[in-house]
């Protein structure tokens, strides 16, 4: 039987991915490679929906591609590509945008959050239609499953609605995808403000996989913890401590009760140091070193990118062809 398909994407909008990206999404990407037909993309078209610098974008796209390989994405098992190199993405996005209600797009909470921060006048139309391009990314590959963090759930719902709407009007065209969200690591929190998700926009609370190990230790040692002394998993009352415990669990895979027991007679300082050391040893050091080594051979990376784009385009063009025929082009 043919393997079922997976697609997911990540933006090249920072110099480095962070551990929220890793636990929320990338780790699942790596695991799914053996059981699914996987398509993974660095979404540079999405990255120009907010302010950007072309030179920096180019550098970050290359580095993002290298980081994907460094965390364990294997170009022999999966199709790994840069979104702008596969022209079917914006082509399908245009068609889908004609099937998306204006109000429907306006209800996307990420768009609302971002426009609130930047102001409506400064927000681009591209930012508004961003989720439709994301839907095109997914539907082009007939993906059944989309491994993402919790913040992408609403975009996945829109993707499903668009797929069903198109199928109802034109006959079976798209597989209706499902979000694959691993509950415990779906939302890694900011180390400085454990009520917010970890994000590059708050660099002090965000642990990047390309950070120097010393910088990582400093971020953990100054992490915000909670009142009281007990080390207990209690997200409502102890969000800071629970976030650290969650990170440990994501790495060691132990039961939460076993992790709590390990810290029975210890203090918050011990917990912070332990988590920091674990993240440095298991995540930051190996991924950082591997990425730097891969970036040493740009030619090879560019060649892998072109191969990925060619493989992706074969699948994407078949879907687009059927869509174009159905709408009368
Ligand atoms: P992006 O680039 O913001 O994030 C990449 C992935 O990391 C997850 N993530 C987190 N998970 C847990 N805790 C966190 N603190 C955290 N921060 C980020 C995100 O949920 C995401 O899975 N719109 C997408 C990119 C995209 C895409 C797609 C995803 C474009 N096309 C098609 C899936 C399918 C985004 O901005 O992700």
Q: Ligand 1, atom 35: nearest CA belongs to which residue?
A: 10
Average pLDDT, the chain: 96
Q: Ligand 1, atom 31: nearest CA belongs to which residue?
A: 134
My answer on whether 46 and 97 are in the same domain is yes
Give residue 117's pLDDT: 78
CATH number of the domain residue 246 falls in: 1.10.240.10
Q: Is residue 204 part of a domain?
A: no
My answer on whether 172 and 241 are in the same domain is no
Rounded-to-integer distance, Cα 19 and Cα 106, Å: 30
Q: Is residue 30 part of a domain?
A: yes
Please indicate whether residue 188, judged by its CB atom, sits closer than 6 Å to ligand 1.
yes
Ligand 1 centroid distance, CA of 24 (Å): 8
Q: Is residue 194 part of a domain?
A: no
Structure tokens at 289: 């070193």
My answer on whether 148 and 281 are in the same domain is no
pLDDT higher than 80, residue 54: yes
Rounded-to-integer distance, Cα 273 and Cα 213, Å: 12
CATH number of the domain residue 16 falls in: 3.40.50.620
Please indicate whether residue 198, judged by its CB atom, sits closer than 6 Å to ligand 1.
yes
Give residue 9's pLDDT: 98
- Is 114 known to be catalytic? yes
My answer on whether 264 and 144 are in the same domain is no
Q: Is residue 208 part of a domain?
A: no
37: which strand partners? Answer: 5
Is residue 243 within 8 A of residue 237, CB to CB? The reply is no
My answer on whether 174 and 321 are in the same domain is yes
- Is 55 known to be catalytic? no
Is residue 179 within 8 A of residue 148, CB to CB? The reply is yes
For the question of whether the overall pTM of this predicted structure is more than 0.95, the answer is yes
pLDDT higher than 90, residue 181: yes
Given ligand 1 and candidates 15, 18, 24, which is best to mutate, with the most ligand atoms within 8 Å of its CB? Answer: 24
Q: Is residue 195 part of a domain?
A: no
My answer on whether 268 and 319 are in the same domain is no
My answer on whether 22 and 113 are in the same domain is yes
Domain count, the chain: 2
Tens of pLDDT, residues 5-25 = 999 999 999 999 999 999 999
Ligand 1 centroid distance, CA of 138 (Å): 13
Rounded-to-integer distance, Cα 313 and Cα 311, Å: 6
My answer on whether 171 and 273 are in the same domain is no
My answer on whether 172 and 26 are in the same domain is yes
Is residue 16 within 8 A of residue 211, CB to CB? The reply is yes
The domain in which residue 281 lies consists of: 213-293
My answer on whether 71 and 134 are in the same domain is yes
Q: Is residue 192 part of a domain?
A: no
Please indicate whether residue 64, judged by its CB atom, sits closer than 6 Å to ligand 1.
no
Q: Is residue 60 part of a domain?
A: yes
6: which strand partners? Answer: 38, 145
Q: Ligand 1, atom 29: nearest CA belongs to which residue?
A: 9
- Is 197 known to be catalytic? yes
Q: Is residue 319 part of a domain?
A: yes
Ligand 1 centroid distance, CA of 149 (Å): 6
Rounded-to-integer distance, Cα 155 and Cα 130, Å: 9
Please, which residues have CB within 8 angstroms of residue 194's CB and are 6 or more apart in sequence?
224, 239, 240, 242, 243
Strand, helix or coil for residue 220: helix
My answer on whether 54 and 34 are in the same domain is yes
Tens of pLDDT, residues 250-277 = 999 999 999 999 999 999 999 999 999 9
Please, which residues have CB within 8 angstroms of residue 38's CB and are 6 or more apart in sequence?
5, 6, 7, 29, 32, 77, 78, 79
My answer on whether 180 and 229 are in the same domain is no
């Amino acid at each position: 039987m043919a393997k079922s398909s997976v697609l997911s994407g990540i933006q090249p909008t920072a110099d480095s991915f962070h551990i929220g990206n890793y636990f929320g999404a990338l780790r699942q990407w790596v695991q799914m490679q053996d059981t699914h037909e996987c398509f993974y993309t660095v979404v540079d078209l999405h990255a120009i929906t907010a302010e950007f610098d072309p030179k920096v974008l180019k550098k970050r796209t290359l580095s993002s591609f290298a980081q994907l390989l460094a965390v364990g994405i294997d170009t022999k098992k999966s199709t790994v590509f840069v979104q702008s190199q596969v022209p079917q993405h914006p082509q399908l996005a245009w068609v889908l945008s004609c099937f998306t209600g204006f109000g429907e797009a306006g209800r996307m909470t990420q768009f609302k959050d971002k426009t609130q921060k930047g102001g409506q006048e400064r927000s681009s139309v591209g930012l508004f239609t961003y989720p439709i391009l994301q839907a095109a990314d997914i539907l082009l590959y007939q993906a059944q499953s989309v491994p993402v963090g919790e913040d992408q759930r609403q975009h996945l719902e829109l993707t499903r609605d668009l797929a069903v709407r198109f199928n109802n009007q034109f006959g079976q065209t798209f597989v209706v995808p499902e979000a694959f969200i691993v509950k415990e690591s779906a939302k890694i929190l900011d180390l400085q403000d454990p009520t917010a998700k970890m994000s590059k926009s708050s660099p002090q609370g965000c642990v990047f996989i390309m950070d120097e190990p010393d910088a990582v230790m400093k971020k953990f040692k100054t992490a915000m913890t909670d009142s009281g002394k007990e080390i207990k998993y209690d997200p409502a009352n102890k969000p800071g401590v629970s976030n650290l415990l969650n990170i440990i669990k994501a790495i060691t895979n132990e039961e939460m009760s076993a992790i709590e027991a390990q810290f029975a007679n210890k203090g918050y300082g011990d917990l912070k140091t332990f988590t920091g050391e674990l993240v440095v040893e298991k995540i930051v050091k190996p991924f950082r070193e591997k990425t730097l080594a891969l970036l040493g051979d740009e030619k090879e990376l560019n060649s892998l990118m072109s191969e990925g784009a060619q493989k992706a385009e074969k699948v994407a063009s078949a879907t687009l062809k059927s869509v174009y025929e159905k709408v009368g082009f």
